[in-house]
Every structure is written in structure tokens, then in C-alpha cells.
């Protein structure tokens, strides 16, 4: 699949050929126009950005109230149970 895509990009290269014909590209809208001719181009301004911090707040307890010291832990183990709960365990780095 990757080699097929590489072959297609090498032989076709429509976007690259179009951009090479232009001496100077001043505005980003020129890139967008070329990309829209050859594929789907989505402006990132149209995608809504959600506040993930507020979304997970009712689901996850703050780390200060966890049953192990979060800041001193080096490894974390996440285990999903049959009831779809997730158990979190922390392991400290033990000096040798």
C-alpha cells in the first residue's frame, strides 16, 4: 500500500507540479486553492474545540485525592474490569 502510494505520488505529483509553476506564493489561500483542486481541504477554524479539562472533571478524581502519590510514581498501570471501571495503580521508582 505504501509503495503504491509512493509510486502514485512520484508519477502523478499534481500538487507539486502545480506549485512549481508558480514563482512566488504570497498568501496561504493559494496553497488552499491548489489543495482543494486535488482533494478535500478542511479549514481548522471550522472545527469546534472543546474544553477537555472540564469534560473529564466529573469522571476522574483530581490526582491529589488518589490512593497513591501521583508525583512520586514512575510507572502507571491501567486495568479495565468487567464492569467497565478502570483501576489505576502507581509504582514508585525504587533506588538500588
Residue 53 lies in a domain: no
CA 81/CA 88 separation, integer angstroms? 11
Residue 21 lies in a domain: yes
- pLDDT band of residue 34 (cuts 50, 70, 90) is confident
pLDDT averaged over every residue in the chain: 81
pLDDT of 96 reads: 56
39 in the same domain as 12: yes
pLDDT of 10 reads: 66
68 in the same domain as 32: no
Residue 71 lies in a domain: yes
Say how many domains are in the chain.
2
- pLDDT band of residue 7 (cuts 50, 70, 90) is low
Q: Which residues pair with 92 in a beta bridge?
A: 73
pLDDT of 4 reads: 63
Residue 52 lies in a domain: no
Q: Tell how far CA 34 is from the center of its chain.
A: 25
Residue 57 lies in a domain: no
39 in the same domain as 72: no
- pLDDT band of residue 3 (cuts 50, 70, 90) is low
Q: What is the widest separation between alpha-carbon atoms in the chain? A: 63
Range of the domain at 39: 2-46
Residue 70 lies in a domain: yes
Amino acid at each position: 500500500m505504501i509503495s503504491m502510494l509512493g509510486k502514485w505520488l512520484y508519477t502523478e505529483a499534481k500538487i507539486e507540479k502545480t506549485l512549481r509553476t508558480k514563482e512566488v506564493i504570497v498568501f496561504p489561500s493559494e496553497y488552499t486553492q491548489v489543495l482543494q483542486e486535488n482533494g478535500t481541504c478542511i479549514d481548522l477554524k471550522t472545527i469546534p474545540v472543546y474544553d477537555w479539562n472540564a469534560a473529564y472533571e466529573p469522571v476522574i478524581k483530581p490526582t491529589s485525592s488518589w490512593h497513591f502519590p501521583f508525583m512520586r510514581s514512575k510507572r502507571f498501570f491501567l486495568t479495565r474490569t468487567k464492569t467497565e471501571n478502570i483501576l489505576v495503580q502507581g509504582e514508585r521508582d525504587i533506588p538500588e
